[in-house]
Structure 1
Amino acid sequence: MPYLTQLAKVARRTGCPVTEVAGWKTRGHGPLQEVDGVVCHHTAGWNDMHVVRDGRPGLDGPLSQIWLRRDGRIFIVAAGRCWHNAPSLSLGHTNSRSIGIEAENDGRTPWPKVQLDAYKRLCAELCREFGLPVSTVKGHKEVNASKPDPHSINMNNFRRDVAALLRGEPAAPADDLSWTEKLVKDLPLLRPGDDNWDVKTARGLLNARGYLPEAVYAAAGLKEWLDRTGYDDEFVKLIKGFQKLKKLDSDGLVGPLTWAALARVS
Protein backbone atom coordinates (compact mmCIF):
# COMPACT_ATOMS: atom_id res chain seq x y z
CA MET A 1 0.00 0.00 0.00
CA PRO A 2 1.40 3.44 -0.88
CA TYR A 3 1.69 6.31 1.57
CA LEU A 4 -1.74 7.56 2.68
CA THR A 5 -1.63 10.88 0.86
CA GLN A 6 -5.45 11.18 0.97
CA LEU A 7 -5.51 11.73 4.75
CA ALA A 8 -5.92 15.51 4.57
CA LYS A 9 -8.89 15.17 2.22
CA VAL A 10 -10.43 12.55 4.51
CA ALA A 11 -9.94 14.81 7.55
CA ARG A 12 -11.62 17.76 5.81
CA ARG A 13 -14.76 15.69 5.29
CA THR A 14 -15.28 15.91 9.07
CA GLY A 15 -16.02 19.61 8.78
CA CYS A 16 -13.31 20.30 11.36
CA PRO A 17 -10.38 22.65 10.71
CA VAL A 18 -7.36 20.83 9.27
CA THR A 19 -3.65 21.71 9.17
CA GLU A 20 -1.23 19.87 6.90
CA VAL A 21 2.13 19.69 8.67
CA ALA A 22 4.94 20.45 6.22
CA GLY A 23 6.41 17.29 4.68
CA TRP A 24 3.63 15.00 5.86
CA LYS A 25 3.07 13.24 2.52
CA THR A 26 6.55 11.70 2.57
CA ARG A 27 6.93 11.32 6.34
CA GLY A 28 6.88 7.81 7.79
CA HIS A 29 8.89 4.68 8.51
CA GLY A 30 8.04 3.24 5.13
CA PRO A 31 4.56 2.54 3.73
CA LEU A 32 1.81 0.72 5.61
CA GLN A 33 1.06 -2.85 4.55
CA GLU A 34 -2.69 -2.32 4.90
CA VAL A 35 -5.15 -0.20 6.87
CA ASP A 36 -7.01 -2.66 9.08
CA GLY A 37 -7.78 -0.45 12.06
CA VAL A 38 -7.54 2.86 13.89
CA VAL A 39 -5.86 3.29 17.29
CA CYS A 40 -6.95 6.18 19.54
CA HIS A 41 -4.41 7.69 21.93
CA HIS A 42 -3.84 10.63 24.22
CA THR A 43 -0.43 12.32 24.10
CA ALA A 44 0.12 12.66 27.88
CA GLY A 45 1.12 16.28 27.36
CA TRP A 46 0.20 19.66 25.90
CA ASN A 47 1.27 21.51 22.78
CA ASP A 48 3.15 18.39 21.70
CA MET A 49 2.56 18.01 17.97
CA HIS A 50 6.32 18.30 17.50
CA VAL A 51 6.80 15.17 19.61
CA VAL A 52 4.39 13.23 17.40
CA ARG A 53 6.24 14.51 14.34
CA ASP A 54 9.85 14.28 15.51
CA GLY A 55 9.78 11.61 18.20
CA ARG A 56 11.40 11.51 21.60
CA PRO A 57 14.62 10.08 23.06
CA GLY A 58 14.78 6.42 22.14
CA LEU A 59 11.93 6.56 19.61
CA ASP A 60 12.16 8.37 16.31
CA GLY A 61 9.18 10.15 14.84
CA PRO A 62 6.69 10.13 13.38
CA LEU A 63 4.77 8.56 16.25
CA SER A 64 1.31 8.87 14.71
CA GLN A 65 -0.26 9.94 11.44
CA ILE A 66 -2.59 12.45 13.10
CA TRP A 67 -2.42 14.86 16.03
CA LEU A 68 -5.75 16.19 17.30
CA ARG A 69 -5.48 19.50 19.14
CA ARG A 70 -7.69 20.21 22.15
CA ASP A 71 -9.72 22.77 20.16
CA GLY A 72 -10.69 20.14 17.58
CA ARG A 73 -8.21 21.13 14.87
CA ILE A 74 -6.82 18.09 13.04
CA PHE A 75 -3.12 18.06 12.16
CA ILE A 76 -1.99 15.63 9.46
CA VAL A 77 1.54 14.68 10.49
CA ALA A 78 2.52 11.67 8.39
CA ALA A 79 1.32 9.45 5.56
CA GLY A 80 3.50 6.41 6.20
CA ARG A 81 3.98 3.91 9.00
CA CYS A 82 4.29 5.40 12.48
CA TRP A 83 5.50 4.03 15.81
CA HIS A 84 2.26 4.34 17.80
CA ASN A 85 1.38 0.83 19.01
CA ALA A 86 3.88 -1.86 19.87
CA PRO A 87 3.64 -4.53 21.01
CA SER A 88 0.08 -4.89 19.74
CA LEU A 89 -2.44 -7.39 21.10
CA SER A 90 -4.24 -7.23 17.74
CA LEU A 91 -2.75 -8.15 14.37
CA GLY A 92 -4.98 -5.54 12.76
CA HIS A 93 -3.64 -2.75 14.95
CA THR A 94 0.11 -3.08 14.52
CA ASN A 95 2.15 -0.12 13.32
CA SER A 96 2.16 -1.59 9.82
CA ARG A 97 -1.60 -2.06 9.60
CA SER A 98 -3.26 0.80 11.47
CA ILE A 99 -3.64 4.56 11.62
CA GLY A 100 -2.80 6.27 14.89
CA ILE A 101 -4.53 9.38 16.24
CA GLU A 102 -2.74 11.19 19.06
CA ALA A 103 -5.17 13.53 20.85
CA GLU A 104 -3.67 16.35 22.90
CA ASN A 105 -4.37 15.64 26.58
CA ASP A 106 -2.24 15.18 29.68
CA GLY A 107 -4.09 12.00 30.65
CA ARG A 108 -6.04 13.66 33.48
CA THR A 109 -7.87 16.70 32.16
CA PRO A 110 -11.51 16.26 31.06
CA TRP A 111 -11.95 16.17 27.29
CA PRO A 112 -13.37 19.31 25.65
CA LYS A 113 -16.60 18.56 23.80
CA VAL A 114 -15.24 20.06 20.58
CA GLN A 115 -12.23 17.74 20.69
CA LEU A 116 -14.32 14.62 21.40
CA ASP A 117 -16.66 15.53 18.56
CA ALA A 118 -13.73 15.91 16.17
CA TYR A 119 -12.25 12.61 17.42
CA LYS A 120 -15.44 10.71 16.59
CA ARG A 121 -15.96 12.43 13.25
CA LEU A 122 -12.40 11.69 12.25
CA CYS A 123 -12.73 8.01 13.13
CA ALA A 124 -15.99 7.82 11.18
CA GLU A 125 -14.39 9.28 8.06
CA LEU A 126 -11.38 6.97 8.35
CA CYS A 127 -13.75 4.00 8.56
CA ARG A 128 -15.62 5.29 5.52
CA GLU A 129 -12.46 5.87 3.49
CA PHE A 130 -10.82 2.53 4.20
CA GLY A 131 -13.93 0.36 4.40
CA LEU A 132 -13.38 -0.45 8.07
CA PRO A 133 -16.07 -1.74 10.42
CA VAL A 134 -16.51 0.45 13.49
CA SER A 135 -15.31 -2.45 15.63
CA THR A 136 -11.78 -1.82 14.32
CA VAL A 137 -11.64 1.59 16.05
CA LYS A 138 -9.78 0.76 19.25
CA GLY A 139 -8.39 2.59 22.21
CA HIS A 140 -4.68 2.12 22.78
CA LYS A 141 -5.63 0.53 26.11
CA GLU A 142 -7.60 -2.14 24.23
CA VAL A 143 -4.75 -3.27 21.97
CA ASN A 144 -1.74 -2.77 24.24
CA ALA A 145 -1.83 -4.21 27.76
CA SER A 146 0.51 -1.59 29.23
CA LYS A 147 -1.34 1.53 28.08
CA PRO A 148 -4.15 3.59 29.72
CA ASP A 149 -5.14 5.83 26.82
CA PRO A 150 -7.32 7.45 25.81
CA HIS A 151 -8.08 8.18 29.45
CA SER A 152 -11.66 8.17 30.76
CA ILE A 153 -13.21 7.41 27.35
CA ASN A 154 -15.58 4.44 27.30
CA MET A 155 -14.64 2.98 23.93
CA ASN A 156 -17.90 1.07 23.52
CA ASN A 157 -19.82 4.34 23.78
CA PHE A 158 -17.26 6.03 21.53
CA ARG A 159 -17.75 3.36 18.83
CA ARG A 160 -21.53 3.69 19.19
CA ASP A 161 -21.24 7.37 18.35
CA VAL A 162 -18.90 6.69 15.43
CA ALA A 163 -21.43 4.20 14.06
CA ALA A 164 -24.19 6.81 14.38
CA LEU A 165 -22.13 9.31 12.41
CA LEU A 166 -21.56 6.74 9.66
CA ARG A 167 -25.33 6.27 9.45
CA GLY A 168 -25.74 10.00 9.08
CA GLU A 169 -27.13 10.41 12.58
CA PRO A 170 -25.78 12.83 15.19
CA ALA A 171 -23.60 11.36 17.89
CA ALA A 172 -25.13 11.26 21.35
CA PRO A 173 -24.47 14.61 23.04
CA ALA A 174 -21.74 14.57 25.65
CA ASP A 175 -23.19 14.95 29.11
CA ASP A 176 -22.00 17.23 31.85
CA LEU A 177 -22.29 14.70 34.65
CA SER A 178 -19.46 14.50 37.13
CA TRP A 179 -17.71 11.17 37.53
CA THR A 180 -19.62 10.53 40.74
CA GLU A 181 -22.96 11.15 39.03
CA LYS A 182 -21.95 8.80 36.23
CA LEU A 183 -21.01 6.18 38.80
CA VAL A 184 -24.45 6.36 40.41
CA LYS A 185 -26.10 6.15 36.99
CA ASP A 186 -24.18 3.04 35.91
CA LEU A 187 -23.71 1.21 39.21
CA PRO A 188 -26.66 -1.12 39.85
CA LEU A 189 -28.88 0.00 42.70
CA LEU A 190 -28.04 -2.25 45.63
CA ARG A 191 -30.64 -3.26 48.20
CA PRO A 192 -30.36 -5.68 51.13
CA GLY A 193 -31.54 -9.11 50.07
CA ASP A 194 -30.62 -8.80 46.38
CA ASP A 195 -29.08 -11.97 44.98
CA ASN A 196 -25.44 -11.61 43.94
CA TRP A 197 -25.33 -7.95 44.86
CA ASP A 198 -21.62 -8.27 45.57
CA VAL A 199 -21.01 -9.43 42.00
CA LYS A 200 -23.15 -6.55 40.73
CA THR A 201 -21.03 -4.10 42.66
CA ALA A 202 -17.78 -5.49 41.31
CA ARG A 203 -19.15 -5.45 37.77
CA GLY A 204 -20.19 -1.84 38.23
CA LEU A 205 -16.70 -0.91 39.35
CA LEU A 206 -15.16 -2.58 36.34
CA ASN A 207 -17.59 -0.83 33.98
CA ALA A 208 -16.96 2.51 35.64
CA ARG A 209 -13.33 2.37 34.61
CA GLY A 210 -14.40 3.45 31.16
CA TYR A 211 -14.88 7.02 32.32
CA LEU A 212 -13.30 7.53 35.73
CA PRO A 213 -9.87 9.18 35.55
CA GLU A 214 -6.85 6.93 36.10
CA ALA A 215 -5.79 9.33 38.85
CA VAL A 216 -8.96 8.51 40.78
CA TYR A 217 -8.20 4.80 40.62
CA ALA A 218 -4.64 5.34 41.74
CA ALA A 219 -5.69 7.54 44.64
CA ALA A 220 -8.33 5.06 45.72
CA GLY A 221 -5.98 2.10 45.53
CA LEU A 222 -8.22 0.40 42.97
CA LYS A 223 -6.16 0.33 39.81
CA GLU A 224 -4.26 -2.88 40.63
CA TRP A 225 -7.48 -4.79 41.21
CA LEU A 226 -9.43 -3.33 38.32
CA ASP A 227 -6.65 -4.28 35.93
CA ARG A 228 -7.35 -7.94 36.65
CA THR A 229 -9.93 -9.89 34.72
CA GLY A 230 -11.53 -11.70 37.66
CA TYR A 231 -13.38 -10.05 40.48
CA ASP A 232 -14.55 -12.93 42.68
CA ASP A 233 -11.28 -13.55 44.53
CA GLU A 234 -10.48 -9.84 44.68
CA PHE A 235 -13.93 -8.69 45.70
CA VAL A 236 -13.19 -7.83 49.32
CA LYS A 237 -10.15 -5.79 48.31
CA LEU A 238 -12.22 -4.06 45.64
CA ILE A 239 -14.81 -2.99 48.17
CA LYS A 240 -12.23 -1.84 50.72
CA GLY A 241 -10.62 0.23 47.99
CA PHE A 242 -14.01 1.58 47.06
CA GLN A 243 -14.48 2.86 50.58
CA LYS A 244 -11.34 4.94 50.06
CA LEU A 245 -12.94 6.27 46.91
CA LYS A 246 -15.77 7.66 49.02
CA LYS A 247 -13.36 10.17 50.48
CA LEU A 248 -12.89 11.62 46.99
CA ASP A 249 -16.63 12.28 46.66
CA SER A 250 -16.20 15.91 47.58
CA ASP A 251 -19.40 16.89 45.78
CA GLY A 252 -21.48 14.49 47.86
CA LEU A 253 -23.13 13.19 44.72
CA VAL A 254 -22.96 9.50 45.52
CA GLY A 255 -26.12 8.79 47.44
CA PRO A 256 -25.97 7.54 51.05
CA LEU A 257 -27.95 4.43 50.08
CA THR A 258 -25.23 3.41 47.65
CA TRP A 259 -22.48 3.91 50.22
CA ALA A 260 -24.50 2.07 52.88
CA ALA A 261 -24.90 -0.90 50.57
CA LEU A 262 -21.19 -0.93 49.81
CA ALA A 263 -20.32 -0.70 53.49
CA ARG A 264 -22.58 -3.69 54.22
CA VAL A 265 -20.58 -5.99 51.93
CA SER A 266 -17.12 -4.70 52.84
Structure 2
Amino acid sequence: MGTAAQMLDQARKSIGMTGRPNTITREYAGRHGDDFLRASWCDMAVTYWARHSGNAAAVLLGGDRAYTVWHASDFQRAGRWRVGTVAEVNAAKPGDIVFFDWGASDSIGAIDHVGVIERVLGGGRVQTIEGNTSDACRRRVRDASVIAGYGRPAYSGGPTASTWMEDLMKDLPLVRKGSTGEHVETVQGLLLARSHLEVRITGTYDAKTEAAVRAVQKWGGTTADGQVGPKTWPILLRVN
Protein backbone atom coordinates (compact mmCIF):
# COMPACT_ATOMS: atom_id res chain seq x y z
CA MET A 1 0.00 0.00 0.00
CA GLY A 2 1.24 3.49 -0.83
CA THR A 3 1.36 6.72 1.13
CA ALA A 4 -0.51 10.02 1.09
CA ALA A 5 2.62 11.65 -0.36
CA GLN A 6 2.56 9.22 -3.30
CA MET A 7 -1.16 9.90 -3.85
CA LEU A 8 -0.48 13.65 -3.99
CA ASP A 9 2.55 13.23 -6.24
CA GLN A 10 0.39 11.32 -8.73
CA ALA A 11 -2.39 13.92 -8.57
CA ARG A 12 0.09 16.74 -9.27
CA LYS A 13 1.14 15.02 -12.49
CA SER A 14 -2.40 15.50 -13.83
CA ILE A 15 -2.58 19.26 -13.17
CA GLY A 16 -3.25 21.03 -16.45
CA MET A 17 -5.01 18.07 -18.10
CA THR A 18 -8.06 19.33 -19.98
CA GLY A 19 -10.99 18.03 -22.00
CA ARG A 20 -12.39 14.58 -22.53
CA PRO A 21 -11.75 11.92 -23.48
CA ASN A 22 -8.38 12.11 -21.76
CA THR A 23 -5.85 9.73 -20.25
CA ILE A 24 -7.96 9.28 -17.13
CA THR A 25 -11.30 8.65 -18.83
CA ARG A 26 -9.73 6.36 -21.44
CA GLU A 27 -8.18 4.16 -18.77
CA TYR A 28 -11.44 3.99 -16.80
CA ALA A 29 -13.47 3.28 -19.95
CA GLY A 30 -11.03 0.51 -20.83
CA ARG A 31 -12.17 -1.32 -17.70
CA HIS A 32 -15.81 -0.25 -17.51
CA GLY A 33 -17.05 0.64 -21.00
CA ASP A 34 -17.05 3.49 -23.51
CA ASP A 35 -19.88 5.34 -21.75
CA PHE A 36 -17.22 6.69 -19.40
CA LEU A 37 -15.06 8.25 -22.12
CA ARG A 38 -16.90 11.59 -21.96
CA ALA A 39 -18.52 11.31 -18.54
CA SER A 40 -17.81 13.58 -15.58
CA TRP A 41 -14.36 12.50 -14.49
CA CYS A 42 -13.64 13.98 -11.05
CA ASP A 43 -13.96 10.60 -9.29
CA MET A 44 -12.35 8.77 -12.19
CA ALA A 45 -9.35 11.03 -11.52
CA VAL A 46 -9.25 9.97 -7.86
CA THR A 47 -9.47 6.35 -9.00
CA TYR A 48 -6.61 6.91 -11.47
CA TRP A 49 -4.38 8.59 -8.86
CA ALA A 50 -5.07 5.85 -6.33
CA ARG A 51 -4.29 3.05 -8.77
CA HIS A 52 -1.12 4.69 -10.11
CA SER A 53 0.24 5.50 -6.64
CA GLY A 54 -0.26 2.06 -5.11
CA ASN A 55 -3.21 3.29 -3.00
CA ALA A 56 -6.16 1.43 -4.53
CA ALA A 57 -6.81 -0.54 -1.34
CA ALA A 58 -6.70 2.59 0.84
CA VAL A 59 -8.71 4.95 -1.37
CA LEU A 60 -11.03 2.69 -3.38
CA LEU A 61 -12.71 0.76 -0.58
CA GLY A 62 -15.49 -0.42 -2.90
CA GLY A 63 -13.36 -0.70 -6.03
CA ASP A 64 -13.17 1.75 -8.93
CA ARG A 65 -15.50 4.71 -8.53
CA ALA A 66 -16.87 7.25 -11.01
CA TYR A 67 -19.93 8.14 -8.91
CA THR A 68 -19.09 10.36 -5.93
CA VAL A 69 -22.08 9.36 -3.78
CA TRP A 70 -21.08 5.71 -3.85
CA HIS A 71 -17.46 6.59 -3.11
CA ALA A 72 -18.37 8.70 -0.08
CA SER A 73 -20.71 5.94 1.09
CA ASP A 74 -17.78 3.49 0.96
CA PHE A 75 -15.88 5.65 3.46
CA GLN A 76 -18.96 6.05 5.67
CA ARG A 77 -19.56 2.29 5.83
CA ALA A 78 -15.90 1.75 6.75
CA GLY A 79 -16.11 4.28 9.60
CA ARG A 80 -13.65 6.57 7.81
CA TRP A 81 -15.99 9.48 7.04
CA ARG A 82 -15.80 13.01 8.52
CA VAL A 83 -18.62 15.55 8.06
CA GLY A 84 -17.71 18.89 6.48
CA THR A 85 -17.98 21.18 9.49
CA VAL A 86 -15.35 23.88 10.01
CA ALA A 87 -13.86 21.95 12.94
CA GLU A 88 -13.65 18.70 10.98
CA VAL A 89 -12.23 20.45 7.90
CA ASN A 90 -9.53 22.01 10.09
CA ALA A 91 -8.68 18.46 11.26
CA ALA A 92 -8.28 17.11 7.72
CA LYS A 93 -4.92 15.86 6.43
CA PRO A 94 -3.12 15.98 3.08
CA GLY A 95 -4.29 12.96 1.08
CA ASP A 96 -7.83 12.90 2.47
CA ILE A 97 -10.50 12.51 -0.22
CA VAL A 98 -12.82 15.52 -0.04
CA PHE A 99 -16.40 15.59 -1.35
CA PHE A 100 -18.41 18.67 -2.26
CA ASP A 101 -22.08 19.64 -2.40
CA TRP A 102 -22.61 22.89 -4.29
CA GLY A 103 -25.96 23.14 -2.49
CA ALA A 104 -24.03 23.60 0.77
CA SER A 105 -25.33 20.57 2.67
CA ASP A 106 -23.44 17.81 4.48
CA SER A 107 -25.62 15.12 2.89
CA ILE A 108 -23.78 12.29 1.15
CA GLY A 109 -26.72 11.86 -1.21
CA ALA A 110 -26.28 15.44 -2.46
CA ILE A 111 -22.56 15.21 -3.29
CA ASP A 112 -21.62 16.71 -6.66
CA HIS A 113 -17.82 16.60 -6.88
CA VAL A 114 -14.63 15.20 -5.33
CA GLY A 115 -10.91 15.94 -5.07
CA VAL A 116 -7.91 15.24 -2.87
CA ILE A 117 -6.70 17.57 -0.12
CA GLU A 118 -3.19 18.89 -0.72
CA ARG A 119 -3.03 21.41 2.10
CA VAL A 120 -5.12 22.38 5.15
CA LEU A 121 -5.21 26.18 5.33
CA GLY A 122 -7.17 26.71 8.55
CA GLY A 123 -10.38 28.61 9.00
CA GLY A 124 -12.34 25.78 7.41
CA ARG A 125 -10.37 26.05 4.15
CA VAL A 126 -8.34 23.51 2.21
CA GLN A 127 -6.25 23.54 -0.93
CA THR A 128 -7.19 20.68 -3.22
CA ILE A 129 -6.33 19.00 -6.49
CA GLU A 130 -9.45 18.19 -8.48
CA GLY A 131 -10.20 16.59 -11.81
CA ASN A 132 -13.08 17.81 -13.96
CA THR A 133 -13.18 21.30 -12.45
CA SER A 134 -14.08 23.47 -15.45
CA ASP A 135 -13.28 20.28 -17.43
CA ALA A 136 -9.65 20.37 -16.29
CA CYS A 137 -7.42 19.19 -13.46
CA ARG A 138 -6.58 22.17 -11.25
CA ARG A 139 -5.65 23.29 -7.77
CA ARG A 140 -8.52 24.91 -5.90
CA VAL A 141 -9.10 26.55 -2.52
CA ARG A 142 -12.41 25.41 -0.98
CA ASP A 143 -14.13 26.11 2.33
CA ALA A 144 -16.41 24.19 4.65
CA SER A 145 -19.55 25.79 3.19
CA VAL A 146 -19.33 23.54 0.12
CA ILE A 147 -17.55 20.56 1.71
CA ALA A 148 -20.02 17.78 2.46
CA GLY A 149 -17.28 15.76 4.13
CA TYR A 150 -14.14 13.78 3.50
CA GLY A 151 -12.88 10.22 3.64
CA ARG A 152 -9.74 9.28 5.52
CA PRO A 153 -7.85 6.59 3.54
CA ALA A 154 -5.80 4.07 5.51
CA TYR A 155 -2.49 4.99 3.92
CA SER A 156 0.55 3.00 4.97
CA GLY A 157 2.32 6.16 6.17
CA GLY A 158 1.82 9.92 6.20
CA PRO A 159 3.84 12.43 4.22
CA THR A 160 6.55 14.14 6.22
CA ALA A 161 6.33 17.91 6.30
CA SER A 162 9.74 18.28 4.70
CA THR A 163 9.05 15.90 1.80
CA TRP A 164 5.67 17.42 1.11
CA MET A 165 7.09 20.92 1.18
CA GLU A 166 10.02 20.08 -1.10
CA ASP A 167 7.70 18.51 -3.67
CA LEU A 168 5.25 21.39 -3.56
CA MET A 169 7.93 24.08 -3.90
CA LYS A 170 9.02 22.63 -7.25
CA ASP A 171 5.65 23.52 -8.80
CA LEU A 172 5.12 27.01 -7.42
CA PRO A 173 5.77 30.03 -9.69
CA LEU A 174 6.58 33.67 -8.99
CA VAL A 175 3.28 35.45 -8.29
CA ARG A 176 3.03 39.23 -8.10
CA LYS A 177 0.76 42.23 -8.69
CA GLY A 178 -1.08 41.73 -11.97
CA SER A 179 -0.89 37.91 -11.82
CA THR A 180 -4.12 35.93 -12.14
CA GLY A 181 -5.23 32.34 -11.76
CA GLU A 182 -5.17 29.43 -9.34
CA HIS A 183 -1.81 30.19 -7.73
CA VAL A 184 -3.12 33.65 -6.85
CA GLU A 185 -6.17 31.98 -5.28
CA THR A 186 -3.79 29.82 -3.23
CA VAL A 187 -1.86 32.89 -2.03
CA GLN A 188 -5.09 34.62 -1.09
CA GLY A 189 -6.35 31.54 0.77
CA LEU A 190 -3.09 31.34 2.72
CA LEU A 191 -3.30 35.04 3.58
CA LEU A 192 -6.85 34.58 4.86
CA ALA A 193 -5.64 31.67 6.98
CA ARG A 194 -3.14 34.13 8.50
CA SER A 195 -5.99 36.49 9.47
CA HIS A 196 -5.59 38.96 6.62
CA LEU A 197 -9.36 39.27 6.34
CA GLU A 198 -9.11 42.24 4.00
CA VAL A 199 -8.05 39.81 1.25
CA ARG A 200 -10.64 38.03 -0.89
CA ILE A 201 -10.15 34.92 -3.01
CA THR A 202 -10.62 36.43 -6.48
CA GLY A 203 -7.73 34.97 -8.46
CA THR A 204 -6.43 38.48 -9.20
CA TYR A 205 -3.30 39.70 -7.42
CA ASP A 206 -4.58 43.14 -6.40
CA ALA A 207 -3.25 45.90 -4.12
CA LYS A 208 -4.75 44.37 -0.96
CA THR A 209 -3.11 41.04 -1.72
CA GLU A 210 0.23 42.74 -2.33
CA ALA A 211 0.01 44.72 0.92
CA ALA A 212 -0.83 41.57 2.89
CA VAL A 213 2.10 39.73 1.31
CA ARG A 214 4.44 42.56 2.33
CA ALA A 215 3.20 42.27 5.92
CA VAL A 216 3.79 38.50 5.93
CA GLN A 217 7.26 39.00 4.44
CA LYS A 218 8.19 41.47 7.19
CA TRP A 219 6.94 39.01 9.79
CA GLY A 220 8.94 36.21 8.16
CA GLY A 221 12.16 38.23 7.93
CA THR A 222 12.52 38.35 4.16
CA THR A 223 12.56 41.24 1.67
CA ALA A 224 9.14 42.89 1.64
CA ASP A 225 8.84 43.25 -2.14
CA GLY A 226 5.20 42.13 -2.34
CA GLN A 227 6.03 39.20 -4.64
CA VAL A 228 5.52 35.54 -3.75
CA GLY A 229 8.55 33.60 -4.88
CA PRO A 230 10.85 30.86 -3.50
CA LYS A 231 11.58 32.77 -0.26
CA THR A 232 7.97 33.78 0.43
CA TRP A 233 6.05 30.58 -0.39
CA PRO A 234 7.63 28.74 2.60
CA ILE A 235 6.69 31.62 4.91
CA LEU A 236 3.07 31.54 3.73
CA LEU A 237 2.99 27.75 4.15
CA ARG A 238 4.67 27.74 7.56
CA VAL A 239 2.49 26.19 10.25
CA ASN A 240 3.05 28.40 13.31
Structure 2 length normalisation: TM-score? Answer: 0.32
Structure 1 length normalisation: TM-score? Answer: 0.29
Larger Rg computed on CA atoms: 1
